[in-house]
Amino acid sequence: MGDGIHLTASELIALRPRCHALRLPMRQPAASALAGAYRSRFRGRGVDFLESRNYQPGDDIRNMDWRVTARTGRAHTKVFQEERERPVLVVVDASPSLFFGTRQRLKSVAAGQLGAAIAWASVRRGDRVGGFLFAPGSHMELRPAGGRRGAMRMIQGLVDWLNPERVLGKGGGQANAAGEPLSHVLERVRHTARPGSLIIVLSDFFGLDDDCNRHLSRLRQHNDIIGCQVLDAAEEHLPTGRYPISDGKDSSVLDTGRNASRQKFEVMGLEHTHAPRRLFQKHQCGWMVLRTDEDPVEVLGRELRILLGNANRA
Interval 47-93: pLDDT, tens: 456 678 888 877 778 889 999 999 999 999 887 654 457 899 999 99
Residue 241 CA: distances (Å) to CA of 233, 246, 253: 15, 16, 10
Question: CA-CA distance, 14 to 37, in Å (whole number)?
Answer: 24
CA 305 to chain centre: 17
Question: CA-CA distance, 231 to 225, in Å (whole number)?
Answer: 19
Domains and CATH numbers, the chain: 9-28+84-313 (3.40.50.410), 48-81 (no CATH)
Amino acid at 155: I
Question: CA-CA distance, 124 to 37, in Å (whole number)?
Answer: 10
179 neighbors 95 (Cβ within 8 angstroms): yes
Q: 141-191 pLDDT, tens per residue?
A: 999 999 999 999 999 999 999 998 876 665 555 444 556 789 999 999 999
Question: CA-CA distance, 277 to 312, in Å (whole number)?
Answer: 21
Q: Whole-model pTM?
A: 0.79
